[in-house]
Amino acid sequence: MKVANVVQEYWNKEGARLYDKIHYINKDKFKNTLLNYLDVEKDCIILDFGTGTGFLASILAELGYKRIIGLDINEYMLLRAKQKLSGFPVMLVRGDGLNLPLKDNSVDAVVSRWVLWVMPDPERAIKEMIRVTKPGGKVITFESSNYDDKEKRLTLKKLVKQLHTVYITLLTGASPFRTKRFWEKTKGKLPMYSLDRYVQFFEQLGLKAVEKTAEEEYGTTFARLFYEGFKFSLIKGVKPNLVSHVLNLECKEWGENELLRILACSECYSNVRIMEGNGLVCEGCKKTFLIKGGIPDLLPAEDKLL
Ligand SMILES: C[S@@+](CC[C@H](N)C(=O)[O-])C[C@H]1O[C@@H](n2cnc3c(N)ncnc32)[C@H](O)[C@@H]1O
Ligand SMILES: [Zn+2]
């Protein structure tokens, strides 16, 4: 089974509901860190890569950013994001982070949290982030090394976490075996690199001014006391200002029309336009894409997914 499909299964309808309930995160701390490192104009276009239920997208909106794209491969996560983000200037797109349905040099910054670990090819994901970023734009990712749980002993915190997860699992109707299945099905397929390896990729792939913050606790007091906490590090790089071609966006309004100028066919990267009826069509290869629940679905063909 492809990781792309395991990811859909893991965060299915119940899994997506559970996702927001078991993460006790200090949102303000993320907000402050992001504001410090992002430091771009409020009308810049920012892509939240692997937005999930829209955590970073909502932070960006609360910070006053006016043009946000939330992209994820998982329709259930996106549907939850849609509920949470209604009224915010966030355009949601379903697409594969390893085949981003966006034009080269089309966004001012890419932000991402907790996504690279679940990618079978994180280097390609970073390449894609860089490709769609305008020269001079920023690529920022929050990653954690928490998943690499070296402590095998059952500690009190672990026990509390497990009991709590069982409780929430029952409450949300998610399968109690979902995590076990996830690890079984992704076995040997997720490289889960260290934070330093991500930094190396940023540098090797041409980003400048690469920085990594020390891993810090972003969990709430509850998470710190009764959970293992949520440690994150921010990694940032700037795309060098060498390329001359920058997509020129003249639209003043942030909405469907402006998004359409940025979107690209995930098969051939040509323009896509609205079809009669409901959907998008590629002007190059003529592939059609559905719009489901108001969210355009630009996933590539199954054989392109990893
Ligand atoms: C742990 S969640 C993080 C979600 C969100 N960024 C957050 O901070 O809460 C990982 C997310 O990555 C998404 N994802 C995994 N593989 C992906 C891919 N190939 N393309 C796009 N999104 C992907 C999953 O669907 C999921 O929503
Ligand atoms: Zn096409």
> Cα(61)–Cα(211) distance, rounded to whole angstroms?
24
Calculate the alpha carbon distances from 300 to 57, 101, 266, 268, 284 in Å. Answer: 23, 8, 5, 10, 14
Give yes or no for residue 97 CB within 6 A of ligand 1. yes
What is the rounded CA–CA span in Å between residue 266 and residue 131? 14
> How many beta carbons lie within 10 A of that of residue 42, not counting itself?
11
Average of per-residue pLDDT across 83-89? 94
Q: Give the pLDDT of residue 149.
A: 55
Residue 73's beta-bridge partner residues?
none
Instruction: In whole angstroms, give the CA distance from residue 89 to residue 68.
Output: 6
Higher pLDDT, 150 or 226: 226
Residue 214 lies inside a defined structural domain of this protein: yes
* Residue 289 three-state SS: strand
Kindly report the protein residue whose alpha carbon is nearest to atom 27 of ligand 1: 52
Query: Do residues 186 and 6 lie in contact, with contact meaning Cβ atoms separated by under 8 Å?
Result: yes
Judged against a pLDDT cut of 90, whether residue 163 lies above it is answered with no
For residue 211, what pLDDT is reported?
97
> Ligand 1 pocket, 118 CB below 6 A?
yes
Looking at residue 162, its pLDDT comes to 82
Q: Which ligand lies nearest to the CA atom of residue 304 in the structure?
A: 1
pLDDT of residue 247: 53
CATH number of the domain within which 26 lies: 3.40.50.150
Cα of 146 vs centre of ligand 2, distance in Å, is: 39
Supply the pLDDT for residue 122. 98
> Is 245 inside any structural domain?
yes
Strands 291-292 and 295-296: antiparallel
Mutate to test the pocket of ligand 1, among 7, 112, 234 (most ligand atoms within 8 A of CB): 7
Q: Is the CB of 6 under 6 A from ligand 1?
A: no
pLDDT of residue 152: 66
Segments forming the whole domain that contains residue 177: 3-252
The answer to whether the beta carbons of residues 54 and 84 sit under 8 Å apart is: yes
Provide the pLDDT for residue 176. Answer: 84
Q: 48 C-alpha vs ligand 1 centroid, how far in Å?
A: 10
In this predicted model, what pLDDT tens digit does every residue of 242-265 receive, in sequence order? 655 555 555 457 988 899 999 999
- Structural domain total, the chain: 1
Point out the ligand nearest to the CA of residue 230.
1
In short, whether 236's Cβ falls inside 6 Å of ligand 1 is no
Instruction: Name, in order, each residue with C-beta under 8 angstroms of 179's C-beta and a sequence gap of 6 or more.
Output: 10
Q: Residue 70 C-alpha to ligand 1 middle, in angstroms?
A: 10
Average pLDDT score, the chain = 91
Q: Which residue has the tokens 């190059």?
A: 284
Give 259-304 pLDDT, tens digit per residue. Answer: 999 999 999 999 999 998 789 999 999 999 999 989 999 999 999 9
Please name every residue paired with 15 in a beta bridge, in sequence order, or none if there are none.
none
Of the candidates 77, 69, 79, which has an alpha carbon nearest to the alpha carbon of residue 100?
69
**Cβ neighbours of residue 74 closer than 8 Å, sequence gap 6 or more:** 7, 8, 11, 16, 52, 94
- For residue 246, the model assigns a pLDDT of 55
Residue 149 falls within a domain, yes or no? yes
With a pLDDT cut of 90, the percent of the chain lying above it is 75
Predicted local confidence at residue 225, as pLDDT: 79
Q: How high is the pLDDT of residue 252?
A: 59
Residue 280 domain flag: no
In this structure, is residue 78 part of a structural domain?
yes
DSSP class of 50: T
pLDDT at 39 over 80: yes
Query: For ligand 1, is residue 52 a contact (CB within 6 Å)?
Result: yes
Q: Which residue has the higher pLDDT, 163 or 81?
A: 81
Using DSSP's 3-state secondary structure scheme, residue 241 falls into coil
CA angle 31, 32, 33 (to 5 degrees): 95
77 lines ligand 1 (CB under 6 A): yes
Between CA 13 and CA 57 the distance in angstroms is 20
Atom of ligand 1 lying closest to residue 77 CA: 27
Q: Taking a C-beta distance cutoff of 8 angstroms, is the pair 232, 143 a contact?
A: yes
Question: Does residue 197 lie in a domain region?
Answer: yes
Is 172 a member of any domain? yes
Of the ranges 9-23, 39-53, 156-170, which one carries the lowest mean pLDDT score? 156-170
In whole angstroms, what is the distance from residue 173 CA to residue 14 CA? 6
| 20 domain-assigned | yes
Q: Tell me if 273 sits within 8 A of 260, measured CB to CB.
A: yes
- In this predicted structure, the answer to whether residue 151 has a pLDDT above a threshold of 70 is no
Mean pLDDT (whole number) for 111-138? 97
Cα angle 233-67-46, degrees, rounded to a multiple of 5: 30
